[in-house]
Structures are given as C-alpha cells and as structure tokens.
A and B are shown apart, each in its own frame.
Chain A
Amino acid sequence: MSVFDGLKFRKVKSPIHDLDPRVKFIYVCVIFAIALIFWELIPLLILFLIQLPFVLLGKVQRQWLRSLRGAAFLAIIIFVTNFVFSFIGAGYRFTAESLESAFALTFRFVVLVESFSIFFLTTSPDNLSLALEQTRVPYEFCFAFTTAVRFVPVLANEAQTIMDAQKARGLELERGNFLKRIKNYIPILIPLIVSAIRRSLELAEAMESRAWGATKNRTNLYVLRMNKNDFILLAITTGILITAVYIRLFIPIPSVCELLEI
C-alpha cells in the first residue's frame, strides 16, 4: 500500500502547503501538458529536475520518494515494453537511440507521478474541496469528491484486514495459474465492496440526521485568497508553459546520443 502512502496528505508548515490549491492545480496541469508534448530525454529530464525545489520547499521528500518507489514497478514495465518494441522496430538491433527513447518515455511517466504526488502531498482535502467550491462546482460534487479521497486509506486498511481474514482461512492468493489467481481475489473483493456500500449508506444516514443540505446557500468559514506567492507561482507556471511551447515549435532538441556523438 506504499503507493497510497505516497499520496496521503500530511500537515506541515511550508510555503508550498500555503499555496492556493487552484494555482497548484494549474501548475500540475501545465507540467502534465508539457510532459506530453515532449518525447526527447533532455527536456523531460529538465522537467523532472525543476520540480525538485518544490519537494524540498514542501518538506515532503520522504513521502515523495515513497510515491516514486510505488510507481517504480509501472515505470520498469514502461521502460521494458518501449525498449523491446524499439529493439524490434530497429530490426533486432541494439541502438543507443532506442535506449534513450525508452528512458525518455519512462521519465515522462515519472514526471506525471512526481507532479501529482507533490500536489496531493501538499494540499489538504479540505482546501481541495474549498477550491472546487470557489470555482462554482456544486457542493454535492465537491463533497462526493473529497469523501472519496478521504476514504481511500480507510479502504486500503480494510482490504488488508480482509486479506488477513481470508488467509487465516487457508486462502493462498499466489496459488494457481493466471485465471485462478484472479479468482482468488473474489473472497477479498466481495466483502470489500459490501462493506464500502454499507459504509456509504451509513454515512448518508448520519449526514442527513445532521441536516446535511438544509440550506441552499452555504458560506465558508475559510475563504481562499490569492496572495503574493500564488501570483509568483502563476507567473513561473506561465513562464514555463511559454518557454516550453516556444522550444517545441522553434528549437530543434538535440538527443543525448547526438551530444555525445555516439
């Protein structure tokens, strides 16, 4: 469950945590978009590196590393498949270019994980729902969204308990061929789904008995306001976006192989 730990918010006092979630979200989207318009190794590496100051400023290095470790397995799959296909595409020849492009595509994935991880690690669910509300998303949807986010770790815990309970009854998850293994998960999924549904019904009753939705016009105790740091991040984000688009359109990007003249 290390992947979930890597996305769990922890309250820390840092300039990154204090940023307006809306601006942070724009930042993540921009990084996301830039990662998709480049397929060369050098710009993706730069994209990876320019986010490191955010991690350090946000004091979330450890959790962030954990999320990367959680993503490592998928990253390896991406690397291997890309490498194998370019290996076949190059006529079963091992080339430095195919190695580089496999690396680049792996880094694209890592950059995506990296930015999402920064966003979720430094944004409290409360702030997130506040941000959604202030962008005029109906409150019902905001609430559904934050509740879903909040219950992910709870469900992960519950899945672990259910797994233990079934293992104690002699269930061996790793036994049998591929199809059998999928079938092995039925005794885990059914109790998990049943309890999730039960929990949601209970939550609904508990909320209605506390007059949820009684007033149409909700007001908030805290209101998000943009301050200096938010505008700075917005400026940086815009700068990165413009530079990236300019480079993409007008500047040829050398590959590492060309630079090293392999």
Chain B
Amino acid sequence: MIEVKNVYFTYPNGVEALKGVSLTIKDGEFVAIMGQNGAGKTTLVKHFNGLLKPTKGIVLVDGVDTRKVSVATLARKVGFVFQNPDHQLFSETVEDEISFALKNFRFEAETINKRVDWALNLLGLTRYKKTSPFMLSGGERKRVALASVLAWNPKILILDEPTIGQDYQQKEKLRHFILQLNAQKKTVIIVTHDVEFVAECNPRVILMSNGEIIADGEARKILTDPKIVTEASIVPPQITQIFIKLKNYGFPRDILDIYEAREAILNSLRKGFK
C-alpha cells in the first residue's frame, strides 16, 4: 500500500512540482496518473520508490517512510520502468541486462537464470537472449526494459509513459499484459497522457494539474466529464467526444470504448425500428 500524505516537493532550481498531494493506493489496484506535461505526474511517482523525497509531508510504502530507507531497498518492492529504455540499457546481451537488477538484489545464480528465462518468455524475447540490446528496435528495447524490472517480481509496478513509441498492435499487447499482471494481484501504476489507452483499460484515474490532484476516481466518471477534462487540458477519448455531442439525441454520455458505443447505437436503432 502506498500512502501519500500532504506532500510538497520543490526541485533545487526552485520549481514547485507538488503542492499538497494526498492519496492512497491499495494493494492490487490499477491506477492511471494523468495530466498534461509538467503537471507533476513523474515527480509524484518518483516519490513511490524513494528517488525523490518529499520537501514537506510524508510518503509511506507498506508503512515504511521513504525518507528512512534507500532506493535499493524500496526498489525490491516497487519496480519502476522509465519512459526511455535507452536511459537504462548498457549490457552486452539482453540476458545480462535482465540479470543486472537480480544481481544487485543478491539473488542466487540459479534463481537468476530461472528468473531471466521466465521474464524473457513473458515478453516474447527469448530469441534475443544473446543479442545486444542496442541492436533491437525501439519497441523491443522498451520490452527489454520492462522485462528487466519484472524479473525480480516487484509487488508494485510503475510504468512511466509505457505507450510512447509503440505501434497499435504493441499497445494492445501491452494492455492485455498489464491487465493480466493486475489480475495476478499486482499493483500497477501507469503514468500517461494517452487517453485512448486509459479508456480501454478503465482503471482508477488520478488527474493532476499544476502539482495538484484535481480529480480521482473511475476512468468512466473522469474521462467523460467535459469540465474536469478541460481543467486538466486533456481531451476525452474520440468515442466519448462523439457521444457527448450526441447527447441531445438521447444517447448516453458516459461511453468509453467501442463495445459500449456499439451497444448504445444498437439500442437506439432497435428503439427506432419499433
């Protein structure tokens, strides 16, 4: 469980990135933190594994104050996949890359081998085991970065902008994968401004603007509320926009994905035929 209590954070250059943020993320939750660039999303999640310590206020991870333990200790529990895989890849082979963290956490050699194979298989990278990560494509490098974090099986997984630079098919795979992890009782936190992606996952949405949380709740409620969405300077999913414009014709407003849209249209057609 992550508890954030009235946290303020100011960068050394004087930028106040968080202004009194409070929230609780329970075990097994699936949360999307959204908001425009510079809203404080990444700053907030960097507090969850202790990379940043609050200037004021307190962050507790499973009851432990993040100011009192090292990042490495917290990282064992909280896996963080950075936005750009090139900021972490450095090994000669994909295998070495994935075992890097496991060695840091002092796993035994045998366990390391097993975990590496497991993670490679999970993300469909087994054939690249002995390849240099620098030879892979952008999407593949992103998967290696993800595998290198999943390998130590952290309880909480943070993904910073996981959909950037991924084609549609990869995004679909990623979505299924995240939902699968979440079904296995893992806490998943994604930082993103990809509304379409979030709409299809329907997680709890935390909307940030200017270092503050302006809305917190179900994706359906938040992404279909034009007022809140405008305040955070994001745009509702396209399908939602259509239905917001059609509300005068008796269509429901809170449509998030095409399956719901199909139902709503069929319903009204049936009514029309009568």
Contacts and interface: CB of A to CB of B under 8 A. Distances in A.
Interface of A: 2, 5, 158, 161-162, 164-172, 186-187, 190-191, 194-195, 198
B59 interface: no
Q: Residue among A2, A161, A170 with the most chain B CB within 10 A?
A: A170
Contacts of B70: 172
A191 B86 contact: yes
A194 B13 contact: no
A169 B100 contact: yes
Nearest to A170: B104
Interface string B43-77: 00010010100000000000000000011100110
Nearest to B74: A168
B13 A5 contact: yes
B86 A172 contact: no
A187 B82 CA distance: 15
B177 interface: no
A170 B51 contact: no
Given A172-B70, A172-B72, A187-B100, A166 B86 contact: no
Given A168-B71, A168-B82, A169-B88, 11 more contacts: A164-B82, A165-B87, A166-B88, A167-B72, A167-B75, A168-B79, A171-B72, A171-B100, A187-B100, A191-B86, A194-B134
A168 B90 contact: no
| Main SS at interface, chain A | helix
Given A172-B70, A194-B134, A167 B51 contact: yes
Contacts of A170: 72, 75-76, 101, 104-105, 152
A158 B84 CA distance: 11
Interface of B: 12-13, 46, 49, 51, 70-72, 75-76, 79-80, 82, 84, 86-90, 100-101, 104-105, 134, 148-149, 152
Contact of A169 (B12, B75, B86): B75
A162 B87 contact: yes
A186 to B, nearest CB: 7
Contact of A161 (B13, B71, B87, B149): B87
27 contacts: A5-B13, A161-B82, A162-B87, A164-B46, A164-B82, A165-B82, A165-B87, A165-B88, A167-B75, A168-B75, A168-B149, A169-B75, A169-B100, A169-B101, A170-B105, A170-B152, A171-B100, A171-B104, A172-B70, A172-B72, A172-B104, A187-B90, A187-B100, A191-B87, A191-B88, A195-B86, A198-B86
A190 B82 CA distance: 17
Contacts of A198: 86
Given A161-B82, A187-B100, A167 B88 contact: no
Q: Which are the 5 A-B pairs with shortest beta-carbon distances?
A: A170-B104, A190-B90, A169-B101, A168-B80, A165-B88
A247 to B, nearest CB: 42
A163 to B, nearest CB: 9
A187 B99 CA distance: 13
Contacts of B80: 165, 168
Contacts of A172: 70, 72, 104
A190 B71 CA distance: 21
A191 B148 CA distance: 15
